[in-house]
Amino acid sequence: MGDDKNKRIDFVDLTKGVCIILVVMAHIGGAFEKLDYHSMIASFRMPLYFFISGIFFKSYEGLFGFFIRKINKLIVPFLFFYLSAFLLKYIVWKIAPGVFQLPVSWTELLVVFHDHALIKFNPPIWFLLALFNCNILFYLVHSLRDRKLGLMFALTLLIGIAGFYMGKHQIELPLYIDIAMTALPFYVAGFWIRRYNFFLFPHRFDKLIPLCILAALVVMYFTATTPGMRTNNYPGNIFQVYTAAFAGIFMIMLICKKIKRMSIVSYLGRYSIITLSIHGPIIHFVSPVVSHYIHNGWAEASVLLLLTLAICVLFTPILLKIIPQLVAQKDLLKVK
């Protein structure tokens, strides 16, 4: 692969941007729910995020160094946006108790330790914790790569299957560890695809992209279900869930490979961790204002989406400038 490994892959940023926009749309709901025909978007939306994250996996200088780097990239932003969103909600509730239906309790901060209940003050933030655990899981599995590659893939599948059926039997692990287990095959697939130029970089096979996209749509139509990844709850069988997810992942990535770059969407993708972490509170406070003035379902959802993304684009460079260590752009904990 040579120099290709050191290039920034524009269409991957675009893919991340599309993914985060789909996530925002899902949290807005309303009219956007009608777009998810036959659950085809829901089937791959969060698996795609795990897959893209796997593309950027590096083992670095050992387990301790890897652990510290992932704390910088995932746990530090998680803690910052988790605590700041709660404090914002708590302060608003103290000033204007009528804004929230229920009193704000400090026990809400403990939700991630005992079940997969909704994080009311910042619902999307669960993903960062699940992704951290997925990284650690794969680091341990990845240690088998050089000596026992087949065992590495077999163990990946076993962990994924175990996580899936834990969800089927409503067995929940703290800190979204069971979700990380179910997501591991997506993460590993992203890591593995990074090895092949024909997928990530221009290749003669690109002329087959339209045919591949059509095939993926057909596969998704017949296999898609609506996975509840945050709760590790999957209504379909294991074949349906993984087949539909992988079909959707490759469909979106191939479409983005054709387009290559869209400035605003690619920007959102490059710094998707910020949009992921702030769009929940933004929607909570902006939604009542929009619904007060706009009463058409599609218009309301569209305006709320544009406003939410615009605020995210506005705040991203501010956060990058003021607190880069807290938004995964600089290390807070130094690695020797």
Reduce the DSSP state of residue 201 to 3 states and report it.
coil
pLDDT score recorded for residue 2: 40
Do 305 and 25 meet the contact criterion of CB atoms below 8 Å apart? yes
pLDDT score recorded for residue 8: 63
Per-residue pLDDT of the chain (336 residues; tens, 9 = 90+): 344 444 567 789 999 999 999 999 999 999 998 888 788 999 999 999 999 999 989 888 788 999 999 999 999 999 999 999 999 988 988 888 776 766 778 888 888 887 788 888 899 999 999 999 999 999 999 988 878 888 999 999 999 999 999 999 999 999 999 999 999 999 999 999 887 666 777 777 888 889 999 999 999 999 998 888 999 999 889 999 999 999 999 999 999 998 989 999 999 999 999 999 999 999 998 999 999 999 999 999 999 999 999 999 999 999 999 999 999 999 999 877
Please state, in angstroms and rounded to a whole number, the distance separating the CA atoms of residues 79 and 115. 18
- Any idea what DSSP says for residue 323? -
Other C-beta atoms lying within 10 Å of the C-beta of residue 330: 11
Closest by CA to 28, choosing from 312, 254, 263, is: 312
Which residues share a beta bridge with 233?
A: 228
Which residues share a beta bridge with 228?
A: 233
Give the tokens for residue 239: 């074949």
pLDDT score recorded for residue 242: 96
Could you report the per-residue pLDDT of 300-313, keeping only the tens digit for each? 999 999 999 999 99
Closest by CA to 226, choosing from 253, 256, 248, is: 248
Amino acid at 191: F
Helices (H) and strands (E) in the chain, counts: 13, 0
pLDDT score recorded for residue 7: 54
